A = this chain, B = another copy of it.
């Protein structure tokens, strides 16, 4: 049995989801708070998840021809100001460096909140000819946004992310890359994080500062709130015109490039917690779990137990496996393994050894399976695979159960009074209706999904002819 004390240290999800979340990030030892307001420490258990995300995503990027680079963390104020929508969007929330050493700077520098302007400044010199295109660059770094309210992983003043920035010869190439990267993101979430997503386009109101079009993947958390989990932007030639990024085409004429950018952040760790977690803590999808199997010896002081645990660890060398041979009680170790979301626990004690067997316990379902030691490796592989698959299925079922349809404002209102989730509803395309909906129901348009349905002919808000079906929800 798991020890109750550690479990009792966290609030139940149903009692207070926000508190549950905060408790889990702390008790699963993912983060710690710091003396720097709004900034956190990513502790080993938290950072290791990010490392796995990074490793997998980076290899998926590279398969599509992405090359990594690193650009400075500082942006001169004059550079940030070159694209007017962009500066309006970001200037209010950047940190400003005004002194270098003991001297005031001639021009202040902001710490990058995102690097479009730096990439444009770089591309302006790099790109001369059609032969220099496309440029498909990405960087892994941290960025800073001076948020007032912060929450671990979901919104912090500094966070880790990747930002891809590309330049293309034609509008079609840029559009294709924007969609391609959104698809990479969606596939990554489904296959590795076991999180199903809605792919779609942001409305004008919700799109990125300076973009022509923003595509997004939206995921539904356990509490029915939406989390924007990755975005991909098509800038058209707007930045190219503001920065003068031109190339000589094959026909010897000067043309502006077309650009995109796309990013995902440590926020994904928040998504994993809020989609899969339970009242015992974190539940990590096997594909991304830093430790997939924790072997816990029972009565480890008895002869041969620790040796057998080490032998099992060896046997499971194809997985990410650890033995907890600390001097804590087995119950406490069980609770820790559960709190940290390690997918499989293997229990091995003197009686098991005598019978040449051990017990596998699945983190998500708590199912216990007695297995012969000879079959341990294949069984563990099988359980990890099943768990990965079923976690995605459960998350998808949860989303389906919490996705509603509203055909008029009364229905719309009633759903958000009684329930929490995605609401599909038709929209006329006017920002005024988005504003009204936000004001009255405190929900925002999450996206206009690529897979459109004709739910009715009229806007859920104003009753005028509808143009698009939109997913609405309360967002993190």
- CB of A87 closer than 8 Å to a CB of B: no
Q: How far is the CB of A415 from chain B (nearest CB, A)?
A: 36
Question: Contacts of A141 on B, CB cut-off 8 Å?
Answer: 142
Q: How far is the CB of A50 from chain B (nearest CB, A)?
A: 8
- CB of A102 closer than 8 Å to a CB of B: yes
Question: A residues 70-110 with Cβ under 8 Å of B?
Answer: 70-76, 79, 92-102, 109
The CA-CA distance from A111 to B67 in the complex, in Å, is 27
Question: Which of A39-47, A204-212, A379-387 lines the interface with chain B?
Answer: A39-47
The CA-CA distance from A70 to B122 in the complex, in Å, is 28
Question: Contacts of A146 on B, CB cut-off 8 Å?
Answer: 100-101
The CA-CA distance from A44 to B66 in the complex, in Å, is 10
- CB of A48 closer than 8 Å to a CB of B: yes
- CB of A68 closer than 8 Å to a CB of B: yes
Question: A residues 279-329 with Cβ under 8 Å of B?
Answer: none
Given known contacts A32-B126, A73-B144, is B97 in contact with A96 (CB within 8 Å)?
yes
Question: Contacts of A71 on B, CB cut-off 8 Å?
Answer: 34, 41-42
Given known contacts A69-B43, A74-B36, is B101 in contact with A98 (CB within 8 Å)?
no
Q: How far is the CB of A112 from chain B (nearest CB, A)?
A: 10
The CA-CA distance from A137 to B44 in the complex, in Å, is 8
The CA-CA distance from A142 to B72 in the complex, in Å, is 9
> Which of A71, A118, A160 has its CB near the most chain B CB atoms (within 10 A)?
A71
Question: Contacts of A102 on B, CB cut-off 8 Å?
Answer: 92
- CB of A51 closer than 8 Å to a CB of B: yes
Of the candidates B34, B72, B94, B99, which one forms a contact with A39 in the assembled complex, judged by CB atoms under 8 Å apart? B72
Q: How many copies of the shown chain assemble into the complex?
A: 2
- CB of A457 closer than 8 Å to a CB of B: no
The CA-CA distance from A125 to B26 in the complex, in Å, is 13
- CB of A378 closer than 8 Å to a CB of B: no
The CA-CA distance from A69 to B96 in the complex, in Å, is 26
The CA-CA distance from A67 to B48 in the complex, in Å, is 8
- CB of A435 closer than 8 Å to a CB of B: no
Question: Contacts of A70 on B, CB cut-off 8 Å?
Answer: 41-42, 47, 50, 142, 160
- CB of A253 closer than 8 Å to a CB of B: no
Given known contacts A75-B36, A100-B95, is B41 in contact with A68 (CB within 8 Å)?
no
Interface residues of A, count at CB 8 A:
51
- CB of A35 closer than 8 Å to a CB of B: yes
- CB of A158 closer than 8 Å to a CB of B: yes
Report A109-148 CB contacts with B as 1/0, cut-off 8 Å: 1010000001001100110000000000100011010100
Q: How far is the CB of A43 from chain B (nearest CB, A)?
A: 6
Question: Contacts of A92 on B, CB cut-off 8 Å?
Answer: 101-102
The CA-CA distance from A134 to B297 in the complex, in Å, is 23
Cross-chain contact A36 with B69 (CB below 8 angstroms)? no
Cross-chain contact A109 with B76 (CB below 8 angstroms)? no
Q: How far is the CB of A54 from chain B (nearest CB, A)?
A: 10
Task: Name which residue of chain B comes closest to A119, CB basis.
Answer: B41
The CA-CA distance from A48 to B58 in the complex, in Å, is 13
Question: Contacts of A75 on B, CB cut-off 8 Å?
Answer: 36
Given known contacts A69-B43, A122-B41, is B98 in contact with A98 (CB within 8 Å)?
yes
Q: How far is the CB of A110 from chain B (nearest CB, A)?
A: 9
- Across chains A and B, which 5 residue pairs bring their CB atoms closest together, nearest first? A39-B72, A44-B67, A100-B146, A42-B70, A96-B99
Contacts A32-B125, A51-B68 known; 16 new A-B pairs at CB < 8 A: A32-B122, A34-B121, A36-B75, A36-B76, A39-B72, A39-B74, A41-B69, A44-B67, A44-B69, A47-B70, A73-B73, A74-B158, A92-B102, A96-B99, A98-B98, A111-B111
A-B contact pairs, 29 of them (CB 8 A): A32-B125, A34-B72, A36-B72, A39-B74, A40-B72, A41-B69, A41-B72, A41-B122, A42-B69, A44-B67, A47-B68, A47-B70, A48-B67, A48-B68, A50-B70, A70-B142, A73-B158, A74-B95, A92-B102, A94-B101, A95-B97, A97-B97, A97-B98, A97-B111, A98-B99, A100-B146, A100-B157, A101-B146, A111-B111
